[in-house]
Amino acid sequence: MILLHIEASPKGDHSYSSRLARAFLEAYKAKNPDDEIRTLNVFEHDMPAFGKAEAFAKFAPIMGEARTAEQESAWEKVKQEISYFDGADKILLSCPMWNYSIPWPLKQYIDCLVQPLETFGYDFEKMDHVGLLRNRPVQMILTRSSTMPGDYNDFQLPYLKYIFGAIGIRDVRAIVPWATTKASREEVEAYLSGFETEARQAAENF
Ligand SMILES: Cc1cc2nc3c(=O)[nH]c(=O)nc-3n(C[C@H](O)[C@H](O)[C@H](O)COP(=O)(O)O)c2cc1C
């Protein structure tokens, strides 16, 4: 089995979401020693910027048009991202909330993955997306400093659940430490250690 850890905080060792992901992975590795763990930090990953060439390449086959050489070469890189992602049997996504949503490089990564005819189709009768990737488990660890899950301004968890579902991945589990800003270091430690326990337990059943 291959587990892909998509890391969406730029804060390295100081990141709360990455720290909880490490607790998850320690427990996961102890239980599944033969599995391969791959890490992709979206802040460090060299991925297509998804600009003009990619935007035209995306719609060319739907509009019955041939891609130009520039669009074709841009599209090859997009397909490489999809192929690497699709090579994972399980996904761990650790991600802070940024302005009620997700950090911009994660959106850029999602813009590479979500493609008509590659990862989703469209059911014209139901007027809805049909995911084309095989379903697989996704563990999300989503940190925030104050936004409660389920609140009207939570555009992180509902968006991530929707967009994974749109490409066929519906087995989404989430751990949401939503009050990470505390008055003291001790309070942060106590808060995070509770979620480390939760992350280890989640790894046991992943
Ligand atoms: C640019 C930026 C925007 C943020 N926006 C929000 C927000 O909208 N709501 C919230 O509750 N916390 C927000 N936060 C706080 C982080 O989500 C919180 O500190 C989180 O625990 C950081 O996780 P990390 O240490 O893994 O990066 C923001 C932080 C940054 C840096």
Cα–Cα distance list, 205 to 13, 137, 157 (Å): 26, 10, 21
Task: Measure 163 CA to ligand 1 centroid, in angstroms.
Answer: 21
Handedness of CA 161, 164, 170, 174 (dihedral sign): negative
H helices of 32-156, where?
A: 52-59, 69-86, 104-113
Which amino acid is present at 38? R
User: Which residues, including other chains, have CB under 8 Å from residue 53's CB and lie 6 or more apart?
Assistant: 70, 71, 74
Q: Among the atoms of ligand 1, which is closest to the Cα of residue 96?
A: 23
CA dist 196 and 117 (Å) reads 39
pLDDT on residue 128: 84
pLDDT on residue 172: 98
pLDDT on residue 12: 96
Check pocket membership of 119 for ligand 1, CB cut-off 6 A: no
Task: Measure 175 CA to ligand 1 centroid, in angstroms.
Answer: 15
Q: Is 15 annotated as a binding residue?
A: yes
Task: Measure 98 CA to ligand 1 centroid, in angstroms.
Answer: 5
Check pocket membership of 135 for ligand 1, CB cut-off 6 A: no
CA dist 58 and 50 (Å) reads 10
Check pocket membership of 100 for ligand 1, CB cut-off 6 A: yes
Residue 116's SS3 state is strand
Q: Tokens 């070469």 sit at which residue?
A: 73
Mean pLDDT by 10 residues, the chain (206 residues): 98 97 98 98 97 96 93 97 98 98 98 96 89 98 96 98 97 98 95 98 97
Q: Is 9 annotated as a binding residue?
A: yes
Please write the tens of the pLDDT for every residue from 142-195: 999 999 999 999 999 999 999 999 999 999 999 999 999 999 999 999 999 999
User: Tell me: domain 2-204, CATH 3.40.50.360, correct?
Assistant: yes
